A and B are shown apart, each in its own frame.
Chain A
């Protein structure tokens, strides 16, 4: 079946550092989505991207829809402790979503 390759699998950073993660696919998607999941919660939609080349920000978060429609990245600037969690990319085609395996973000004290 279709798969999304999300990297890195986990990250250990210092508070205040910038973070970058990305997702690639062999298939084209109409929409790219980025979610964050905290322990014991459902995924929360952070950013949705609808057009190839689109660059969208949400506070300290910035995401881009790759020009080939097969990839996307998410950047987090000046990380803070509440950024800890698992970030999932997701590619959407029509009504179906396929999720990446997630990037687990840890912030070192």
Chain B
């Protein structure tokens, strides 16, 4: 398994601003993922972030709105840009752990946009 931390744990933001969420892992991992979980809903994959390459975004998510950095094998950031109330959600990072790449999740960042 892996121990994953996220910062901030929660935030309340104004419309039109941006928030950067950090994800830190206690070991080196190749694959990191960012998910969104809207209230009472399941998890939806935003993008896959592999070190040394551009993030791969899922349908409905674009880099201009959700830029991702992956500077090394233990860290990643997700920025939620130009926020609107519809971006209010829990944002979760996860890592795939070899050899089967099961995913382990961080505690999430609860974002409220006013």
Interface residues of A (CB under 8 A from B): 1, 31, 33, 35, 40-45, 48, 50, 88, 90, 92, 94-97, 99-102
In this complex, how many residues of chain B approach chain A with their Cβ under 8 Å: the count is 22
List 3 tightest A-B contacts by C-beta distance, closest first.
Answer: A42-B105, A99-B42, A99-B43
List chain A residues, Cβ under 8 A from B107. Answer: 40-42
Interface residues of B (CB under 8 A from A): 1, 4, 31, 41-43, 45, 48, 59, 92, 94, 96, 100-108, 110
List chain B residues, Cβ under 8 A from A95. Answer: 31, 48, 96, 101
Check if A92 sits within 8 Å of B42, measured CB to CB. no
List chain B residues, Cβ under 8 A from A92. Answer: 101-103
Shortest Cβ gap from A39 to chain B (Å): 11
Q: How many A-B pairs with Cβ below 8 Å? A: 50
List chain B residues, Cβ under 8 A from A43. Answer: 43, 92, 105
List chain A residues, Cβ under 8 A from B1. Answer: 45
Check if B110 sits within 8 Å of A40, measured CB to CB. yes
Question: CA of A58 to CA of B111 in the docked complex: distance in angstroms?
Answer: 33
Shortest Cβ gap from A69 to chain B (Å): 15
Check if A42 sits within 8 Å of B92, measured CB to CB. yes
Check if B105 sits within 8 Å of A88, measured CB to CB. no
List chain A residues, Cβ under 8 A from B96. Answer: 95
Shortest Cβ gap from B37 to chain A (Å): 9
Residue from B45, B94, B100, B105 within 8 A of A48 (CB atoms): B100
List chain A residues, Cβ under 8 A from B59. Answer: 1
Shortest Cβ gap from B101 to chain A (Å): 6
Residue of A nearest to B93 (CB): A42
Check if A33 sits within 8 Å of B102, measured CB to CB. yes
